[in-house]
Chain A
């Protein structure tokens, strides 16, 4: 029922805008992370989730982000799975990237 109410509330235009925001934020994040050496793994189109390699210790990175109050990145066996949605703003994404840069610079 929750899903029905949500879909009725956002309607076709709202859902499309949600999708644009998700895709936009995720691709923006991916681009900024790539600049830091987090290379995209699949090379295929993605929507709001993407797997990258991880030039630093993934668990340490995730913990450092958690210390900043950021829940970001799920370590996998060969990289990190990132996600950005319509709920994340550009400013928040920039903050994630700056913390990641800080960890990489160490």
Chain B
């Protein structure tokens, strides 16, 4: 696999810019480069083939099943792309006069309203760039609230031990210290431990429900009450919203603020097709603290940006990842009032289907077969018996063009594989996956040793992750240092 620099041939080019139609601007010599930048020089056909080759060596949702737990790798509908490409959305500048972008403000306003409805919140911001950023923003709201009340002693954020690592990290970034509470045997928050952990120094709680084990906490209302009674606020990590949207709202469970992941629940592309987007919603009493500016409707019906003095400030340049928001709006409009709850119900059904048949095939599900949109397999027993680990199972799946489930998360299950099929997979795909996993189980018992070297048919074998972490090679080195 060659790099662009290695395909470059001096003198090749593909774009022809017009000649100057005005006099050339002159600059002092000290401002002018002495040597040309070492950019690749290529013909268009070669450039095209280069990226096609890169794409062929990349596995995305478009290439095969992608049950990466906690990520909600659902299909990204193409109509979203068409809507986001409309010139009125795509060809604008964020500093254009408001009168000339009313449609864009309208799109933002509508999406905020829909997300607030789905989450049971009173106000939203679309500014945060993705999930952890949304968490941070939500925590800023909580902090602003306590400070406005003169409550400077509330320095602790409570986080369950099953939480995604971003939760405690965001809490620390926002200036809090983290208190971890254990999960009980059913995977929910241990209520006694929670009661013991709250006090006058409690700023709030961060929770996702269903949790990272894919389990809905039956005590959720009481959990939020315990926090509120101690004077704290409750933050909902919306990573798992795909399990409940349209059926249950975090606002009704007792949460005061939430973030959602447009690139998970609302079908916008992850990663390279992204970026992500992590809108934050809150109850009315927190709304004054939301990041500036906000979209407001004037008495005459026009829309405008407005700034609140009490705002925590900007958390992102301009208004967030606008075109991602447009895609999410298109998605919600496509699904509509009936489609949203149907999507989450199907996601849960697909996960339970897989959980049942994988359990039947011989995999250990430490929290039983009933789950919401995702579930955890414990490969520990298999490892004890055959030496085959979660890593080995995951790597072997790559040989069949299937992206493995999330490995080694949540941390409370060793040798975890967390699978989230989402609602956009057909029964045939799920059956095929069960078949592959069954086959791997068989291989583990018959020739487990071999699986330590899987995958066998991918462009590369297992990378040296330690070397990659310690000696990353991120810059191309030209032969002559010019």
Contacts and interface: CB of A to CB of B under 8 A. Distances in A.
Interface of A: 1, 4-5, 7-18, 20-21, 23-28, 45, 62-63, 66, 71, 74, 86, 89-90, 93
A93 B25 CA distance: 15
Given A8-B47, A66-B100, A71-B96, A21 B37 contact: no
A8 B27 contact: no
Interface in B1-35: 4, 12-15, 17-18, 20-25, 27-28, 31
Nearest to A18: B17
Contact of B24 (A14, A24, A62): A24
A86 B19 CA distance: 10
B96 A5 contact: no
- Chain A CB within 10 A, most for which of B22, B28, B93, B99: B22
B114 to A, nearest CB: 29
A86 B272 CA distance: 28
Given A11-B40, A12-B39, A17-B17, A23 B25 contact: yes
Q: Is the interface of B mostly helix, strand, loop or mixed?
A: loop
A15 B47 CA distance: 16
Contacts of A93: 22
Interface of A is mostly: helix
A59 B41 CA distance: 44
Contact of B23 (A1, A28, A63): A28
Given A24-B22, A45-B28, A89-B21, A11 B272 contact: no
Nearest to A59: B97
A1 B4 CA distance: 13
Given A8-B4, A21-B17, A15 B100 contact: no
B96 A12 contact: no
Interface string B145-186: 000000000000000000000000000000000000000000
A30 B96 CA distance: 21
5 contacts: A8-B47, A10-B39, A11-B12, A11-B14, A20-B25
A37 B38 CA distance: 42
B51 interface: yes
Contacts of B99: 63, 66
A75 B31 CA distance: 28
Contact of A62 (B14, B21, B97): B97
A92 B44 CA distance: 30
- Classify chain B's interface size: 20 to 34
* Residue picked from A9, A23, A74, most chain B C-beta under 10 Å: A9
Given A10-B15, A11-B14, 13 more contacts: A4-B4, A11-B42, A12-B39, A21-B20, A23-B24, A23-B27, A24-B23, A45-B31, A63-B99, A66-B99, A71-B96, A90-B21, A90-B22
Nearest to A13: B13
Contacts of B39: 7-8, 10-12, 15
B469 interface: no
A12 to B, nearest CB: 4
A8 B40 contact: yes
B13 A11 contact: yes
Nearest to B36: A12
Of residues B31, B40, B96, which shows the largest number of chain A Cβ atoms within 10 Å of its Cβ? Answer: B40
B468 interface: no
B460 interface: no
Contacts of A11: 12-15, 39-42
B466 interface: no
B196 interface: no
